[in-house]
Structure 1
Amino acid sequence: MHAVRLHAFGPAENLSYEQTPDPVPSPGQVRVAVAAAGVHLLDTALRQGMTGPYPAPVELPTVPGREVAGTVDALGEGTDPSWLGRRVVAHLGMAPGGYAELAVTDASRLHALPDHLGEAEAVAMIGTGRTTLGILGFTALGPDSVAIVPAAAGGIGTLLVQYAKNAGATVVGLAGGPAKVALVRENGADVAVDYTRPDWPEEVRAGLAGRHATVVFDSVGGDTGRAAVDLLGKGGAHLVFGWAGKGPHDGGPLTFTPEELASRGITSESVLGPAMIERAGGDIRVLELAALAAAADGTLRPAVHRFPLADAAGAHRALETRGTTGKVVLVP
């Protein structure tokens, strides 16, 4: 098979498209003929030798990627034979191996795909979709809500805008550049602005006509995140799930002292990790099932940005430079 391997930590160019031996599923595992593999911003950090959620840098050489969809083409010993030949999607967890034509995973991680749900869309929902629903577990949205979504043209941002609109909320979508702003507006945002413009907070205030935001879904941090928080009214919530800003003063999580929060009358909390899983009842598959069901019935429509598997390096570069929209997916 062909796979993308990383032999040394460093730039995107270190990702090498190579011929490698076909993996063999162990007992209780399946092998998936991959039709789509997800690319996550975390992958770009791991590629550089950062640890992310891992206790140490990943072992090299490695095949990155933790989200795959395709067809089961081989079974390990003792695996339920009904999986063979079925279209499936799986999040590989902490194990890498997704950037490949073939990937192995435990059968317990599989979800069968409905006939009308594409593999690329399923890959978007198994990771990005489940995270989106996990974030939304920290707030209740309705007609009185005013939600600000920075990075609204990204994978999670696209889904947050759709969910909030479905709930009847007023949605403010922030994106970098006119093309992305247009996509955010087409996705349903009531107010869509370019956060690279210095006067964007004034544009938002004008668009809201005196209303204050009730929640900020912050994946950017830095100056952009702080300016968004400044638009919150009393009782507003700042929900943090990243700090990927690329501006000169962006990046890094926002921190507030208890005194600041009390004086503003707002809350601020990180919604990733154990807190999210706890909200899901301790089972991350609950969020995966809900995300896939929402895509299958059309409630949520993931945006997908496809790259050939052979151009995984290009996908990483585009993701790191904000040159993508929606979920980035590699297609063998």
Structure 2
Amino acid sequence: VGEGVDPGWVGKRVVARGQSGYAERMTASVEEVVEVPDGLAFPQAAAVLHDGATALMLVGKGEIAKGEQVLVTAATGGAGSLLVQLARDAGARVIAAARGERKLRLARELGAEVAVDYSEEGWDARVREAAGGEGVDLAFDGAGGELGGVAFGTVAKGGRFVTYGTSNGGFAQIDQQAAEQRQIRAINALMDGPPPPDVVRDTLARALALAAEGRITPVIGATYPLERAADAHRSLAERATLGKSLLMV
């Protein structure tokens, strides 16, 4: 440890949200370091490192209530797969949207009661039907772009729409007038900028604890040796991945 850092950190298993992670060794500020709970392996801790805190913060913004109908798009991505589990753990009925049967099957395994393919025409109508006809109480949009705009249309009057993803070409295209008319609270989770470091650290510690308790299970879709980082990025670009991809050193 560096000068002025508590030597009690020596020997502890830790993770850190630092920069320059594509390396065998790195340094991190002590403010970024979080201890890994007993019983949680390093690969699982690494998979929770970024998206675990993100998913918990999104759940806080969405204010899930027991018994609500919740849509999660990009439901088998790093954050989406955790949102499915957290929403289910909160007592919600989860409707997942993803692309392809392999991802739909995983979404159901994670706890989604209904899974729809958003590459198929009319998927939004199937979501509304699955939610009883009026639409969902809350939607988490991890896709963005035009697809996110369609997801917004599945939210019932008086519901909430939390957007955080841009993989489909920017943030969701939302009709603000329609949002006001339908009394929908639309929340761009990233507009306020990153939260304070202590909030991120505390939220990550909560996510790691949930994973250690088995209440959430990070999905590790693939692992690559460090020298194959380009292959990992290629799979991400082709949208062929499930959950998180890890580089192993």
The yes-or-no answer on 1:283 pairing with 2:199 is yes
Assess if the C-alpha contact under 8 Å between 2:38 and 2:212 holds in 1.
no
Structure 2 residue aligned with 1:199: 122
* Residue 214 of structure 2, aligned match among 290, 298, 314: 298
Q: Tell me, in whole angstroms, the C-alpha distance in 2 between the residues paired with 1:154 and 1:89.
A: 21
Q: Which runs of 5+ in 2 are unaligned?
A: none
Q: Tell me, in whole angstroms, the C-alpha distance in 2 between the residues paired with 1:319 and 1:122.
A: 20
Q: What SS is found at the alignment partner of 2:34? A: strand
Q: Which moved more, 1:136-145 or 1:233-242?
A: 136-145
Assess if the C-alpha contact under 8 Å between 1:218 and 1:243 holds in 2.
no
Structure 2 residue aligned with 1:323: 240
TM-score (norm 2): 0.92
Assess if the C-alpha contact under 8 Å between 2:141 and 2:148 holds in 1.
yes
Assess if the C-alpha contact under 8 Å between 1:135 and 1:276 holds in 2.
no
Q: Which runs of 5+ in 1 are unaligned?
A: 1-74, 246-250
> What are the residue-to-residue correspondences of 1:108-123 with 2, within 5 Å?
108-123=31-46
* Residue 5 of structure 2, aligned match among 53, 75, 79: 79
TM-score (norm 1): 0.70
* Residue 230 of structure 2, aligned match among 313, 322, 327: 313
1:161-209 Cα offsets, whole Å, 9 max, x none, are: 0111111111111111111111001111011011111132233233334
CA distance 1:259–1:201, change in 2 (3 Å): closer
The yes-or-no answer on 1:125 pairing with 2:48 is yes
**In proportion to residue count, which structure has more strand?**
1
Structure 1 residue aligned with 2:149: 226
Q: What SS is found at the alignment partner of 1:82? A: helix
1:114 positional shift: 2.2
Letter in 1 for 2:8: S
Q: Tell me, in whole angstroms, the C-alpha distance in 1 between the residues paired with 2:26 and 2:44.
A: 18
* Residue 260 of structure 1, aligned match among 161, 178, 197: 178
Structure 2 residue aligned with 1:244: 167
Instruction: Count residues in correspondence.
Output: 248
1:115-150 Cα offsets, whole Å, 9 max, x none, are: 311112111222110011111111221233111111
Q: What SS is found at the alignment partner of 1:105? A: coil
Q: What SS is found at the alignment partner of 1:104? A: coil
Q: Tell me, in whole angstroms, the C-alpha distance in 2 between the residues paired with 1:132 and 1:194.
A: 22
> What are the residue-to-residue correspondences of 1:132-143 with 2, within 5 Å?
132-143=55-66
Q: Tell me, in whole angstroms, the C-alpha distance in 1 between the residues paired with 2:199 and 2:75.
A: 27
Structure 2 residue aligned with 1:7: none
1:12-64 Cα offsets, whole Å, 9 max, x none, are: xxxxxxxxxxxxxxxxxxxxxxxxxxxxxxxxxxxxxxxxxxxxxxxxxxxxx
Q: Tell me, in whole angstroms, the C-alpha distance in 1 between the residues paired with 2:229 and 2:143.
A: 24
1:214 positional shift: 0.9
Q: CA RMSD in A?
A: 2.0
Q: Tell me, in whole angstroms, the C-alpha distance in 2 between the residues paired with 1:286 and 1:189.
A: 28
1:222 positional shift: 2.3
Assess if the C-alpha contact under 8 Å between 1:134 and 1:276 holds in 2.
no
Q: Tell me, in whole angstroms, the C-alpha distance in 1 between the residues paired with 2:175 and 2:103.
A: 34
